[in-house]
């Protein structure tokens, strides 16, 4: 007998129906994020122990209102539900519905029943139903729908045992179909069923309605469907409106039968005091910007301590490995390439965790929908969408989770523009570069006896990045021409106290996604850069020690000073040094020499590498020497041989600051844009426009100031 | 529906845009359903309405495709 594969149970439901709470309750910490085969949507799944001791795989599908998808992450649901013959086909489906308002949940349920997979209806939020004084006749509901009905309260876990019990029994596939297919559609549906061996009419009907969801079909089968669709002139979406009306009329009759006491017409009295303040023309924006300020404050102030700690631990580990491992290229790769590379990823974890703690609290409480509501009109002027606010906010911590957060934007054009401009928002990796360069060129004084000049300069750079993002978005809005219509039909969920365990799960999930997404790329690049910076053509590198010893015979260097000079000599003659010298003619108009060129090259993959490279080039940078003051003073002393003045004059410093504000300089972002846009077109366009913008702006700054 | 004022109620009688009507109906905005115009965003767009027991936000141009009897 073949080994019994694990039962797969898919959770489906409207957004705000409490589906995530149910998922978290069922799986606890046994969850993982994977990918659905062939698509980029995250697959949240986890294991749940059933009453008989066996384990079932629970899959959390994105929240949807209907089986007809609108945005990218919604499409995965119809793909999973329509593909009945794949190893990913769920054995059972749990439809979660908000019992305080069943209508819309039942629309989705009736569609899923008609697809013909074994289904259970879960009525969530029964505590609120009781408070509202409604009672349902569950038996009649279950009999009329032909599926088991289980009432639960996912917030405290009441009813979950009963649900598990139902799930461990055999659940029959629903027999009757709610939707009666129109007469004109019967013939093509029959042909699809016969030619493609589709199990039931509604599934075949959806094959005709949703060509874009058939990614699982082999090409020749897809062609058959296309041919049938064309022959019967069955254009997608043809009957969708009529189908919705038919379903709602069934649902209205059903609800009349099973609702024992109807709700009063409380909606007529709808006057939400909270909304009156939170969407007020003055208070609404003040509160929103106050919250933004609090979030940024938290990202930078609260994260500092853990970040310094992580930084120190990785430096210690690197130092320890250097002494503990036998000398050789492999241990140097480990100590100088891999460990600092890993450290460069882990150091951002505190900021990402804090950011997503806030975002998930705002989303759980229902406030995020109000932010979209407040900002939509302004954002649309720039070719963006109210929903672009979340990615742009997240961009302050890191562009990678920010770009992943654009999936909720249904409109292709607005989503693409949001992806393209998000990396212009100054992320936390730019902060070390900004700090050190500002310290070099801006005096540490107070303006008007009140504002710190360096702080003002830093704020100016953030504003510059934001303005550049908005202006670029506006230009792209004019350049990208598509016919697709933009719309914003969005639920405004009632305000709720966030469920803290859900906040916790979101933090874990997003942080994991960041560490693994960005981690792979940053690590690979760290290794490549290490090779480029450690090896060079000929024997210059091997002879570095000897050469430096001869050169500095009369220079009474300390041991440390000598080692530092050797490191600088090696870097100069490495492949990275050679490339730095090669690009010097191109960057000279910006005021940079080949040393800065090396830093530009090494920081191409991850901009935060800039400071470390500077430290090595100016030969003060052994790993154990992370004293900013030393790097700063060495950079300050560096002389420009052409002018005799300091290398980092205000013109050069400002030119570099502007360059790093605009330049892409982040391989992980390119990788995530490639993943999200499914191709090289947009990441390359983005890399090109940002690099050109950075180069030209730095050129203008340097040429006007010098 | 775009001409309604905050606080006014009415009945959905139909739609002028087929593409949008499908999405609106899925969200519970059905012909015959009672709707209430709750309030506008500070800049006048989008607006918030109540229908079928939910609060929805939609842009003024989208609301304009809903025909209202009142």
* A151 belongs to a structural domain: yes
Q: Which residues of B touch A237 (CB under 8 A)?
A: 19, 22
Taking every pair of Cα atoms in chain A, the longest distance, rounded to a whole number of angstroms, is: 100
* Structural domain span for residue A29: 8-168
Q: Which residue of A has its CA nearest to B41?
A: A374
pLDDT at A268: 41
Q: Which residue of B has its CA nearest to A284?
A: B42
Domain match, A316 and A217 both: no
Instruction: Check if A184 contacts B (Cβ < 8 Å).
Output: no
Kindly calculate the radius of gyration of chain A based on its CA atoms and give it in whole angstroms.
30
Q: Which residues of A touch B52 (CB under 8 A)?
A: 101, 103-104
Rounded alpha-carbon distances, angstroms, from residue A337 to A205, A528, A573, A577, A595: 56, 8, 18, 17, 20
Domain match, A91 and A197 both: no
Beta-ladder partners of A34: A43
pLDDT at A684: 95
Q: Which residue of A has its CA nearest to B34?
A: A268
| CB spacing of B56 vs A490 below 8 angstroms | yes
Q: What is the Cα–Cα distance from A296 to A317, expressed in whole angstroms? A: 30
Rounded alpha-carbon distances, angstroms, from residue B43 to A85, A288, A373, A405: 50, 15, 10, 25
CB A36 within 8 A of CB A516: no
| CB spacing of A489 vs B20 below 8 angstroms | yes
What mean pLDDT comes out for the span A190-199?
A: 84
Q: What is the Cα–Cα distance from A118 to A95, expressed in whole angstroms? A: 11
| CB spacing of A248 vs B18 below 8 angstroms | no
Residue positions counted in chain A: 706
Going by their DSSP bridges, the two strands A149-151 and A119-124 should be labelled as parallel
* Closest C-alpha to A33, from A502, A516, A398: A516
Instruction: Determine if the peptide bond prior to A27 is cis (ω within 30°).
Output: no
Q: Is the pLDDT at A434 greater than 50, yes or no? A: yes
| CB spacing of A487 vs B58 below 8 angstroms | yes
pLDDT at A697: 96
Q: What is the Cα–Cα distance from A403 to A676, expressed in whole angstroms? A: 8
| CB spacing of A275 vs B53 below 8 angstroms | no
Q: Which of A244, A373, A378 sits opposite B57 (nearest CB)?
A: A373
Question: Is the four-CA dihedral A66, A214, A116, A9 of positive or negative sign?
Answer: negative
Q: Residue A455 — very low, low, confident or very high, per pLDDT cuts 50/70/90?
A: confident
* Closest C-alpha to A50, from A173, A172, A166: A166
User: pLDDT tens-digit profile of A651-677?
Assistant: 999 999 999 999 998 888 888 898 888
Q: Which residues of A touch B24 (CB under 8 A)?
A: 489
Six-digit token string for A341: 């590379």
Six-digit token string for A161: 């045992």
Look up tokens 């999973």; give the residue. Answer: A80
Q: Which of A117, A143, A168 is the last residue of a domain?
A: A168
* B37 belongs to a structural domain: yes
User: pLDDT tens-digit profile of A539-554?
Assistant: 777 777 788 777 777 7
Number of H helices and E strands in chain A, helices first, is 33, 10
* Structural domain span for residue B39: 9-69
Instruction: Check if A53 contacts B (Cβ < 8 Å).
Output: no
* Closest C-alpha to A111, from A84, A78, A142: A78
Q: What's the domain count of chain A?
A: 4
Q: What is the Cα–Cα distance from A580 to A454, expressed in whole angstroms? A: 30
Domain match, A516 and A629 both: yes
What mean pLDDT comes out for the span A443-460?
A: 80
Going by their DSSP bridges, the two strands A55-60 and A42-49 should be labelled as antiparallel
3-class SS shares of chain A: helix, strand, coil, % to 5? 60, 10, 30
Strand runs labelled E in B1-70: 9-15, 34-40, 47-51, 54-58, 66-69
| C-alpha distance from B26 to closest chain A C-alpha (Å) | 7
* B24 belongs to a structural domain: yes
CATH number at residue B54: 2.30.30.90
| CB spacing of A241 vs B62 below 8 angstroms | no
User: pLDDT tens-digit profile of A151-185?
Assistant: 898 888 888 888 998 888 888 888 888 888 888 88
Look up tokens 């001409």; give the residue. Answer: B3
Q: Which residues of A touch B20 (CB under 8 A)?
A: 487, 489
Domain match, A131 and A191 both: no
Q: b vs e for A544-583, b when ≥16 Cβ sit within 10 Å of the residue's Cβ?
A: beebbeeeeeeeeeeeeebebbbbbbbbbbbbbbbbbeeb
CB B33 within 8 A of CB B12: yes
* B56 belongs to a structural domain: yes
| C-alpha distance from A95 to closest chain B C-alpha (Å) | 17
CB A255 within 8 A of CB A83: no
SS3 A325: coil
Best of A105, A378, A385, A489 to mutate (most B CBs within 10 Å, chain B)? A489
| DSSP states along A688-703 | HHHHHHHHHHHHHHHH
pLDDT at B52: 80
Q: What is the Cα–Cα distance from A198 to A114, expressed in whole angstroms? A: 13
* B29 belongs to a structural domain: yes
Q: Residue A2 — very low, low, confident or very high, per pLDDT cuts 50/70/90?
A: very low
Q: What is the Cα–Cα distance from A627 to A26, expressed in whole angstroms? A: 49
* A270 belongs to a structural domain: no
Mean of pLDDT over chain A: 83
How many CB atoms neighbour CB A315 within 10 A? 17
Best of A490, A493, A495, A496 to mutate (most B CBs within 10 Å, chain B)? A490
DSSP letter at A95 equals E
pLDDT at A626: 47
Q: Which residues of B touch A276 (CB under 8 A)?
A: 39
| C-alpha distance from A601 to closest chain B C-alpha (Å) | 46
Helix (H) / strand (E) containing A577 = helix A575-582
Q: Residue A629 — very low, low, confident or very high, per pLDDT cuts 50/70/90?
A: low
State residue A446 phi and psi, 5-degree precision: -105, 135
Q: What is the Cα–Cα distance from A666 to A647, expressed in whole angstroms? A: 26
Instruction: Check if A329 contacts B (Cβ < 8 Å).
Output: no
* B1 belongs to a structural domain: no
* Closest C-alpha to A70, from A482, A408, A419: A408
Instruction: Check if A104 contacts B (Cβ < 8 Å).
Output: yes
Domain match, A222 and A293 both: no
Q: Which of A66, A263, A378 sits opposite B26 (nearest CB)?
A: A66
How many CB atoms neighbour CB A85 within 10 A? 9
Helix (H) / strand (E) containing A120 = strand A119-124
* B21 belongs to a structural domain: yes
- pTM (global) more than 0.80: no
| C-alpha distance from B18 to closest chain A C-alpha (Å) | 8
* Closest C-alpha to A435, from A603, A653, A700, A587: A653
* Closest C-alpha to A122, from A21, A247, A260: A21
Q: What is the Cα–Cα distance from A401 to A356, expressed in whole angstroms? A: 9
What mean pLDDT comes out for the span A574-582?
A: 88
Q: What is the Cα–Cα distance from A555 to A553, expressed in whole angstroms? A: 6
Domain match, A513 and A649 both: yes
User: pLDDT tens-digit profile of A216-235?
Assistant: 888 888 888 888 888 888 87
User: pLDDT tens-digit profile of A367-420?
Assistant: 999 999 999 999 999 999 899 998 998 898 888 888 988 888 888 899 999 999
Beta-ladder partners of A491: B56
Q: Which of B25, B45, B53 sits opposite A101 (nearest CB)?
A: B53
CB A665 within 8 A of CB A671: no
pLDDT at B5: 86
A77 vs A445: which has the higher pLDDT? A77
SS3 A278: helix
| CB spacing of B46 vs A244 below 8 angstroms | no
CATH number at residue A14: 3.40.50.300
**Low pLDDT (below 50) residues in chain B:** none
A680 vs A130: which has the higher pLDDT? A680
Domain match, A515 and A557 both: yes
A-B Cβ pairs (cutoff 8 Å, strict): 112
* B4 belongs to a structural domain: no
Domain match, A25 and A87 both: yes
| DSSP states along A298-312 | IIIIITHHHHHHHHH
Q: Which residues of B touch A245 (CB under 8 A)?
A: 25, 30-31
Kindly calculate the radius of gyration of chain B based on its CA atoms and give it in whole angstroms.
11
Identify which of A122-126, A184-188, A297-301, A484-488 has the greatest average pLDDT: A122-126
* B48 belongs to a structural domain: yes
Q: What is the Cα–Cα distance from A304 to A50, expressed in whole angstroms? A: 44
Burial of A686 (0-12, 13-18, 19+ CB in 10 A): buried
Domain match, A209 and A84 both: no
| C-alpha distance from B50 to closest chain A C-alpha (Å) | 7
Domain match, A564 and A419 both: no
Q: Which of B18, B20, B41 sits opposite A279 (nearest CB)?
A: B41
Six-digit token string for A26: 């069922």
**Chain Cα centroid distance, residue A582:** 37
User: pLDDT tens-digit profile of A303-335?
Assistant: 888 988 988 898 888 888 888 888 888 888 888
* A500 belongs to a structural domain: no
pLDDT at A477: 92
Q: Which of B9, B24, B57 sits opposite A492 (nearest CB)?
A: B57
- Spatial CB neighbours of A495, under 8 Å, sequence gap ≥ 6: A272, A274, A365, A366, A367
Q: What's the domain count of chain B?
A: 1
Q: Which residues of A touch B25 (CB under 8 A)?
A: 241, 244-245, 248
Q: Which of A70, A275, A491 sits opposite B56 (nearest CB)?
A: A491
User: pLDDT tens-digit profile of A31-61?
Assistant: 666 555 544 456 788 888 888 888 889 998 8
How many CB atoms neighbour CB A78 within 10 A? 23
Domain match, A426 and A566 both: no
Beta-ladder partners of B35: B10, B51
pLDDT at A377: 92
SS (H, E, C) A349-372: HHHHHHHHHHHHHHHHHCHHHHHH
């Amino acid at each position: 007998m073949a080994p019994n594969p694990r039962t797969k149970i898919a959770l489906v439901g409207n957004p705000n129906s409490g589906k995530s709470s149910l998922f978290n309750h069922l799986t606890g910490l046994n969850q993982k994020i994977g990918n659905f085969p062939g698509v980029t949507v995250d697959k949240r799944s986890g294991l749940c122990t059933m009453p008989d001791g066996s384990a079932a795989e629970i899959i959390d599908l994105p929240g949807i209102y209907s089986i007809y998808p609108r945005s990218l992450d919604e499409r995965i649901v119809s793909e999973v539900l329509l593909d009945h013959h794949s190893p990913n086909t769920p054995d059972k489906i749990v439809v979660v519905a908000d019992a305080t308002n069943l209508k819309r949940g039942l629309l989705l349920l009736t569609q899923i029943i008609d697809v013909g997979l074994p289904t259970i209806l879960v009525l969530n939020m029964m505590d609120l139903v009781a408070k509202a004084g409604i009672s349902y006749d569950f038996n009649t509901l279950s009999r009329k729908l032909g599926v088991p009905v289980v009432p639960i309260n996912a917030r405290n876990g009441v009813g979950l045992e009963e649900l598990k019990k139902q799930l461990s029994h055999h659940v029959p596939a629903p027999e009757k179909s709610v939707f009666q297919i129109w007469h004109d559609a019967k013939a093509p549906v029959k042909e699809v069923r016969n030619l493609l061996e589709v199990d039931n009419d509604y599934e075949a009907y959806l094959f005709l309605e949703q060509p874009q969801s058939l990614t699982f079909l082999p090409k020749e089968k897809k062609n058959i469907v296309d041919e049938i669709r064309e022959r019967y002139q069955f254009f997608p979406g043809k009957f969708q409106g009529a189908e919705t009306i038919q379903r709602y009329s069934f649902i209205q009759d059903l609800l009349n039968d099973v609702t024992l006491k109807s709700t009063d017409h409380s909606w007529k009295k709808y006057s939400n005091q909270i909304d009156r303040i939170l969407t007020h023309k003055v208070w609404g924006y003040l509160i929103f910007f106050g919250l933004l300020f609090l979030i940024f404050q938290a990202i930078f102030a609260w994260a500092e301590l853990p970040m310094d700690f992580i930084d120190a631990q990785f430096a210690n580990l690197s130092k320890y490995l250097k002494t503990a491992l036998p000398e050789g290229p492999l241990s140097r790769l480990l100590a100088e390439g891999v460990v600092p590379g890993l450290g460069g990823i882990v150091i951002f974890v505190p900021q990402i965790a804090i950011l997503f703690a806030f975002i998930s609290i705002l989303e759980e409480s229902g406030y995020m929908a109000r932010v979209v509501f407040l900002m939509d009109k302004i954002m649309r002027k720039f070719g963006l969408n109210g929903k672009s606010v979340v990615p742009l906010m997240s961009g302050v911590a890191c562009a990678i989770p920010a770009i992943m957060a654009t999936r909720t934007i249904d409109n292709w054009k607005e989503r693409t523009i949001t992806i393209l401009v998000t990396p212009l928002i100054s992320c936390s990796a730019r902060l070390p570069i900004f700090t050190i360069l500002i310290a070099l060129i801006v005096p540490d004084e107070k303006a008007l006896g009140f504002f710190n000049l360096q702080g003002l300069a830093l704020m100016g750079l953030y504003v510059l990045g934001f303005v550049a993002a908005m202006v670029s978005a506006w230009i792209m809005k004019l350049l990208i021409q598509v016919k697709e219509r933009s719309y914003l039909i969005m639920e405004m969920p009632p305000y709720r106290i966030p469920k803290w365990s859900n906040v916790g799960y979101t933090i874990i999930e997003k942080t994991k996604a960041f560490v693994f997404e960005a981690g792979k790329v940053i690590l690979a690049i760290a290794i490549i850069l290490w090779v480029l910076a450690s090896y060079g053509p000929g024997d210059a590198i091997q002879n570095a020690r000897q050469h430096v010893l001869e050169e500095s015979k009369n220079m009474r260097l300390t041991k440390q000073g000598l080692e530092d000079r050797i490191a600088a000599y090696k870097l100069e003659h490495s492949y990275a040094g050679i490339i730095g010298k090669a690009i010097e003619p191109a960057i000279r108009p910006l005021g940079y020499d080949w040393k800065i060129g090396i830093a530009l090259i090494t920081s191409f993959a991850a901009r935060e590498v800039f400071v470390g490279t500077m430290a090595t080039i100016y030969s003060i940078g052994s790993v154990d020497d992370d004293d900013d003051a030393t790097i700063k003073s060495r950079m300050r002393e560096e002389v420009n041989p052409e002018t005799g003045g300091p290398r980092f004059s205000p013109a050069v410093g400002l030119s570099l600051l502007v360059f790093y504000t605009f330049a892409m300089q982040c391989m992980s972002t390119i990788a995530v844009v490639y993943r999200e846009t499914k191709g090289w077109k947009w990441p390359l366009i983005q890399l090109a426009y940002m690099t050109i913008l950075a180069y030209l702006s730095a050129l203008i700054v340097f040429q006007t100031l010098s | 529906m775009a001409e309604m004022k905050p606080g006014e109620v009415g009945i959905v009688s139909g739609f002028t845009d087929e593409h949008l009507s499908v999405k609106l109906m899925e969200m519970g905005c059905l012909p015959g359903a009672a709707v209430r115009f709750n309030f506008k965003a500070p800049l006048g767009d989008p607006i918030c309405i109540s229908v079928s027991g939910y609060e929805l936000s939609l842009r003024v141009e989208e609301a304009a495709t809903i025909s209202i009897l009142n």
